[in-house]
Amino acid sequence: MEEKQVKQKVLDILKPYVREPEDLVNATEETDILNDLKVNSSRLVDIILAIEDEFDIEVSDDEADDVLTVGDAVKLITGKI
Amino acid sequence: MSQISANNMDPVLNDRVQFVNQEITKMITTLPVKIRFKRSFQRWLSWLLFPVLAPVIIFILRYVRKNRIEDHKKIRMLFKRIAAESKIPTLICANHLTKVDSIYIHHAFASIPYYWFHFRLFSWNIPAKENFWTNPVDRLVTYLGKCIPIVRTGSPEHHKEVLNTLRYLMFKGELCTVFPEGGRSETGRIDVENVRYGVGNILNGLPDYRVICVYMRARTQEGLSDMPPIGDSIYFDFKVITPQSVAKGRRAERDIARTIIQKLKDMEDTYFAGKNN
């Protein structure tokens, strides 16, 4: 799977959790999930679980803690599939 | 702190036993001696000054704020029965509408002398540092009230340390109180979608546990506030549950947290159904 496709899937996963859905339109690799997309920090676990289900991968706690931006999520996923 | 033994006949149970033993080992090895000593000292000092501080606070609740807990005797009798029943790790999970909810929960469950002789039942709390650590008086009162401040925007390491400390204290037989919504209910009602999974994280690594779900609300309380309205009587309901999950890791934590918040929501629905009839 190409990095671009992974990014699109990550953005789809994030969609239900962002406060303003239009923020996703201009999201780049550097977009901060908590600060730029205003995702509630307690929903990060749901996002990680959704990523695990979507890509059939396992993410450790330490790896999950390192996911701060959209790019971090894409990098984590591409490194595991 | 001892580990639990496996049952060779049941692979599912063995799996759980293995996981819990790993968690116990992790808890012992990752919680620094310094922190354990710090909390032991805090507990001792809180106990020592409890007869001085607690009457002042109760006086304020009862005679200045004029708040009264409904069915107070019955609540205390039931709590004593539950508390005496077993020393298994117990977590109090409550809805959150005012800044002083934990004080009202303490007051509802037992008297000052009872806590003095059973100080493990005077529960630990984790208030947000940004709310309660602003001046020396607040600091002192929260410290002596068995509080462990948590920085909501803190690092994952900080959050893990606080949750690990709570788990350790519960394992030692101490009661702890948390608010699964993380903060006060902004709409005045429990938001099931807003649950924090930290509560599941605390419980998931324990061999055995129970949760006392508390739904508390001043009769004229509409939304969130700093204190319950003056002169109001306080509706207080509690149920004991043991939320479990067949999943592992984060998924188990999510299941456990969702079970607790759903129970609280059901209790809230019961309250409003009774109020509207």
The answer to whether A45 contacts B195, with C-beta atoms less than 8 Å apart, is: no
- Picking from B156, B194, B250, the nearest residue to A49 by CB comes out as B250
| B251 with A46: Cβ contact below 8 A | no
Whether pLDDT at B211 is above 70: yes
Mean pLDDT of B203-219: 92
- The answer to whether residue B159 neighbours chain A at the CB level (below 8 Å) is no
Find all residues with CB under 8 Å of B79, minimum gap 6, and list them: B108, B109, B110, B238
* Measured CA distances, B49 to B53, B55, B112, B127 (Å): 6, 11, 12, 20
What phi-psi label fits residue B182: left (phi over 0), alpha (psi between -120 and 50 degrees) or beta?
Answer: left
User: Buried (b) or exposed (e) across A8-38, using 16+ Cβ within 10 A?
Assistant: ebbbebbeebbeeeeebeebeeebebeebbe
Q: Is B179 part of the contact surface with chain A (CB cutoff 8 Å)?
A: no
B158 and chain A in contact, CB less than 8 A: no
Nearest to A49 among B194, B196, B254 (CB): B254
Q: Is the pLDDT of residue A53 over 70?
A: yes
pLDDT at B89: 92
The C-alpha of B146 sits at a distance from chain A's nearest C-alpha, in angstroms, of 25
> What pTM does this model have?
0.88
Whether B240 has a pLDDT exceeding 60, the answer reads yes
Cβ <8 Å between B250 and A45: yes
Distance in Å, alpha carbon of A2 to nearest chain B alpha carbon: 28
> What is the pLDDT averaged over residues A60-72?
91
- Give tens-digit pLDDT for B156-209: 889 889 999 999 999 888 999 999 998 888 889 998 988 999 999 999 878 789
- Give CA–CA dist B71/B234, Å, rounded: 9
Residues from chain B that touch A40, judged by Cβ atoms under 8 A, are 194
Strands (E), chain B: 68-69, 90-94, 124-125, 175-178, 210-218, 233-241
Q: What is the ipTM of this complex?
A: 0.83
* Confidence grade of residue B225 (pLDDT, cut at 50, 70, 90): very high
> Does position B1 have pLDDT exceeding 90, yes or no?
no
User: According to the model, what pLDDT value does residue B7 have?
Assistant: 54
Q: How many CA atoms lie within 13 A of B60 on its CB side?
A: 9
- The pLDDT tens digits of the residues spanning B128-162 come to 888 877 889 889 999 999 999 999 888 888 988 99
Nearest to B254 among A45, A64, A65 (CB): A45
Query: Across-strand partners of B128?
Result: B150
Average pLDDT over residues A61-81: 92
Contact list in A for residue B254 (CB cut-off 8 A) is 45-46, 49
Average pLDDT over chain B, rounded to an integer: 89
pLDDT of residue B115: 97
How large a percentage of chain B has pLDDT more than 70? 91
Q: Angle at the Cα of B275 (from B271 to B277), degrees rounded to 5? A: 120
Nearest to B199 by CA among B127, B267, B125, B260: B260
Structural tokens at position B135: 């001046």
For B206, residues 6+ apart whose C-beta sits below 8 A from its C-beta are: B20, B23, B89, B167, B170, B171
More confident residue, B246 or B22: B246
Query: How many percent of chain B have pLDDT more than 90?
Result: 65
Nearest to B196 among A42, A48, A64 (CB): A42
- Interchain pair A46, B254: CB under 8 A: yes
End-to-end CA distance of chain B: 51
